Amino acid sequence: MDAILVVNAGSSSIKFQIFGVYENRTLKRLVKGQMDGIGTLPRLFAKGSGDSQLIDRTYEAPQVPNVGVAMLLVGDWLRTTQQFELMAVGHRVVHGGPKYDRPVVVDEAAVATLEQYLSLAPLHQPNNLAPIRSLLARRPGLPQVACFDTAFHRGHSPVADRYAIPERFYGEGIRRYGFHGLSYEYVAQRLRQVAPAVASKRVIIAHLGSGASMCALINGHSIESTMGFTALDGLPMGTRPGQIDPGVLLYLINIKGIPATSVEELLYRESGLKGLSGISNDMRELQSSDAPGAVLAVEHFVYRTGLNAGMLAAAIGGMDAFVFTAGIGENSPVIREKIVDKLSWLGAAIDPDANGAGREVISRPDSRVGLYVVPTDEELMIARHTYSLITGAADEQRSQRSIDAP
């Protein structure tokens, strides 16, 4: 069977999925797995359709020292145990920079260009590119497609796209890109099924997870986002601070004498919920704690989310629907209720029972704003893009349905 492999590589893990391609151009998820603990306690596990376990194997740390080696092991296991004929591999790549505003088939030249953006997404970009390089060396004839988290936002107006700095910097690529675009794109498409009456109107989607951002859409198109040049701006996140006065960073470097590399470490790995609480970057752990730092971190997250929702509502002239997605957004009724309380001035009213049950629609009948919980599926979005690009069916991508998707 023809299949598409989707790869989402992080610093210590590789998530992968196999989508079977059927004659009527539908995609069905057949394998879902992960290699985690890379370099420390490597473990490869995967399930098939119907949640059947396919493998659960551990390795010694030296056997899987980095993402590239992990990708080779995953590939070897798939080839020797799963009866698929890979037609392409789709990759999540966080930053497409100023050059890439849509998915692209990658070669050595494309990878070299994408490596220029390593400093713009140091937590993600190096690891996103590692499996691409590994496969280029191991299987050069296998098509690979890079799908960018920035691409969905590239239609922003010049007013929204620019910082108030000299124009020459914009020409060099310093602009507001926005991120989590694959998630927003999937949720915007799914919303046309969940709530067709509002999907084309003024919608704010909150992608709330370890990485967090929000996006304002009209008719399914991104108008404004809380993230900008890098994935540091906007909402507080697990270990990233969100919006911060640039003067703070100048003070840390120029007055405190902290090296820029240490400030980068502070911003990407020591701030956010982890920095505020002094306990953890995991919202589940913070919600279960009554420690003052944990309480502060939770309330700060909710407060900043409410503030940014107001900003996004101003950008699109109001709000007809508010959608929760990603780890926190999909799984925490408490956080959803707290955030909706901050949106009451816009006419949002939550149904406690529907919210507690995690239903798709969680707004009360008298709410002036539709409230929804829509699980994201970035991997399916990548598979769709990859299939469309490889087969030349880009025009059909929006109408493509998936057996696996609701």
Cα separation, 340 vs 26, whole angstroms? 37
Contact between 392 and 88 under an 8 Å Cβ cutoff? The reply is no
What tokens appear for 346 in the block?
A: 């816009």
The residues facing 55 across adjacent strands are 46
Per-residue b or e along 337-359, where b marks 16 or more CB atoms closer than 10 Å to that residue's CB: ebbbebbeebebbbbeebbeeee
DSSP string, 13-62: -EEEEEEEE-TTS-EEEEEEEEEESTTTS-EEEEEETTS-EEEEEE--GG
CA atoms within 13 A of residue 19's CA, in its CB half-sphere: 30
Contact between 235 and 272 under an 8 Å Cβ cutoff? The reply is no
Which of 36, 101, 149, 395 is flagged as catalytic?
Answer: 149
Q: Which residue from 184, 139, 132 is spatially nearest to 7, judged by alpha carbons?
A: 132
149 tagged catalytic:
yes
Backbone angles phi, psi at 362, to 5 degrees: -120, 10
CA end-to-end distance (rounded Å), the chain: 23
Cα separation, 13 vs 131, whole angstroms? 11
Q: Which amino acid is residue 190, in one-letter code?
A: R
**Residues with a known catalytic role:** 149
